[in-house]
Amino acid sequence: MPSDTPENPYNQPGQPAPYGQPPAPYNQPGPPAPYGQPPYGAPMEDPGKTLGIVGLVLCFVVPLAGLIVSIIGKKKSRVAGFTNTPAKVGVILGWIFTIVGFIIAIIYIVVIIAVLNNPDMVNSY
C-alpha cells in the first residue's frame, strides 16, 4: 500500500538511530530538577565563599566590619554544608584586630585625658 509520505526506517522499533543521536531510551529528557535546586550533575556552589573572602580582606581595613561579614559568610556556608576557610580566618583575625584596636583606643583616650589634666607635661618637652 503506497502512501504519500515515505517511511522513515529510523522511527521503526529495532532500527538504529540516525547518525549522532543516541538510541531511543537515552534521548528522552530526564526528570526536571526540583524547584530551587541546580540541575542534576551541576556542582553546588558555596553561598558564603564570597562573603568569607570579603570579610577576610575587610579585617585588615575595618576589623569590626570584617568580623561581622566573616561571621555571616561562615554561617551561610555551614548551613549549606560547606567549610569556608577564608571566613574562619576572617573571624579569627577580626576578633584579634578588633580587641587590639579597642585596647589601643583605650590607651589613646587615657593618654589624652592625662595630658589634658596635667598641662605641664606638654610644656616640659
pTM of the model as a whole: 0.60
For the chain, list residues with pLDDT below 50.
none
pLDDT of residue 40: 64
pLDDT of residue 84: 92
DSSP-assigned states of every residue in the chain = ---SSPPPGGGSTTSPPPTT---GGGSS--PPPPTTSPPTTPPP--TTHHHHHHHHHHHHH-HHHHHHHHHHHHHHHHHHT---HHHHHHHHHHHHHHHHHHHHHHHHHHHHHHHHH-THHHHT-
List, for residues 44-66, the tens digit of each pLDDT value. Answer: 888 899 999 999 999 999 999 99
pLDDT of residue 12: 58
Question: Contact 77/47 with Cβ under 8 angstroms?
Answer: yes
pLDDT of residue 11: 55
